[in-house]
Structure 1
Amino acid sequence: MTTTTDRTEADTVSVDAIIDALYDVISGPPGDRDFDRMRALFLPGARLIPSAPLTEHHPGGQPLDCDAFIAEIRPLLQVQSFYEAEIARRTERFGAVVHAMSTYESRLTPDGAPVIRGVNSIQLLHKDGRWWVVTILWDEESEQQPIPARYLPPA
């Protein structure tokens, strides 16, 4: 049996593991996600900052801690499936600090067409023998703002 501690260790052992866990924990059919798993990825005081409105109650540009983010998205995830996956990443590292520009696609079904694409700017910290999410700031692609080629998978 996998315990929460085992899962947290596996989710935070590497940069790849923690970013994979970020996308995995938010994805799924309608209903609750494993929000304890999500919380375990974030350094206390970490922030999630959508550049555009997240919901009708969130104006965008406003930092949220993990619990406020969960409270904001939980009602939507209760009634709508949501699957998000990384399609490309550019990573810079200096010591214990990593900055990842992680391009994503969001779908309503696991194999459906993307309904949203965007880029997550993810800051990570290696501390206490594991990786922590410190900040996620993201923006969505639009006609006026296409994702630059450098953030897309090679053609």
Structure 2
Amino acid sequence: MRLSILAAALALTFAAPAAAQTAPAPAPVSTAATADVATPEAIVAALYDVISGDAGVARDWGRFRSLFHPTARLMPSGVNREGVGVVRSITPDEYITRSEPLLVGEGFHEREIARRTERFGHIAHVWTTYESLHSLADPQPFARGINSVQLFHDGTRWWILSVYWQGETPAAPIPAEYLPPAN
């Protein structure tokens, strides 16, 4: 009995300094449309919808920002010229700054073609396979890949915590289990 009390006291002793060093996250402010953040499926659909549009069509960046928790990150990954895997972590605002000229200038539609969702309590992880087109009239996508989307439910709504993605390449084709079932 004394040993378990000692173990618990030590655990609390070591946990307290770590907790004290962790800065609290900014309090999220929800300005999102209720329908956009009601379910994991809805928030992922809203994400695809808000970044998609024809050339010359402005995106609703206010709506985009409303989907993300204040601590959220977007993380594109791939391989550099030397063949080494790389990842970059950016904020939603950095994504807007870097991506808007391309999205609006060339047109960009990203649509989901398959999904796998795992959920526990207040968290959800969505593997969403996508294809990218410049115009919905394009006969074939110019790119495909997988988005790994981590979500958090605060008791009121879902928030995107992170979107981590990798585009498909000949060396890294999308596995069959992440594609739509064959007809």
Q: Same fold (TM over 0.5)?
A: yes
Q: After TM superposition, what 4+ stretches of structure 1 lie above 3 angstroms from structure 2?
A: none
* TM-score (norm. length: structure 2): 0.76
1:117-138 Cα offsets, whole Å, 9 max, x none, are: 0000000001141000000000
Cα contact 2:127–2:146 (8 A) shared by 1: yes
Partner amino acid, structure 1, of 2:116: R
Give the distance between the partners of 2:153 and 2:108, measured in 1 at CA: 29
Instruction: Report the equivalent of 1:23.
Output: 48
Partner amino acid, structure 2, of 1:136: V
Give the distance between the partners of 1:149 and 1:80, measured in 2 at CA: 30
Q: Pick from 145, 151, 154 the counterpart of residue 178 of structure 2.
A: 151
Cα contact 1:8–1:41 (8 A) shared by 2: no
Cα contact 2:150–2:163 (8 A) shared by 1: yes
Q: Pick from 111, 129, 138 the counterpart of residue 137 of structure 2.
A: 111
Which structure is higher in helix share?
2
- What displacement does 1:78 show? 3.0
Look up the SS of the partner of 1:52 in the other structure: strand
1:1-150 matches, cutoff 5 A: 8-31=33-56, 32-52=58-78, 61-112=87-138, 113-150=140-177
Give the distance between the partners of 1:110 and 1:147, measured in 2 at CA: 22
Partner amino acid, structure 1, of 2:180: P
Residues matched between the structures, number? 146
* TM-score (norm. length: structure 1): 0.89
Give the distance between the partners of 1:25 and 1:78, measured in 2 at CA: 12
Give the distance between the partners of 1:8 and 1:30, measured in 2 at CA: 25
Cα contact 2:133–2:141 (8 A) shared by 1: yes
Look up the SS of the partner of 1:129 in the other structure: coil
Cα contact 2:53–2:104 (8 A) shared by 1: no
Give the distance between the partners of 2:52 and 2:118, measured in 1 at CA: 26
Q: Of the two structures, which has the highest relative contact order with CA contacts closer than 8 Å and spacing of 6 or more?
A: 1
Give the distance between the partners of 1:111 and 1:101, measured in 2 at CA: 26
Q: Where in structure 1 are there 5+ consecutive unaligned residues?
A: 54-59
Instruction: Report the equivalent of 1:56.
Output: none
Give the distance between the partners of 1:65 and 1:93, measured in 2 at CA: 24
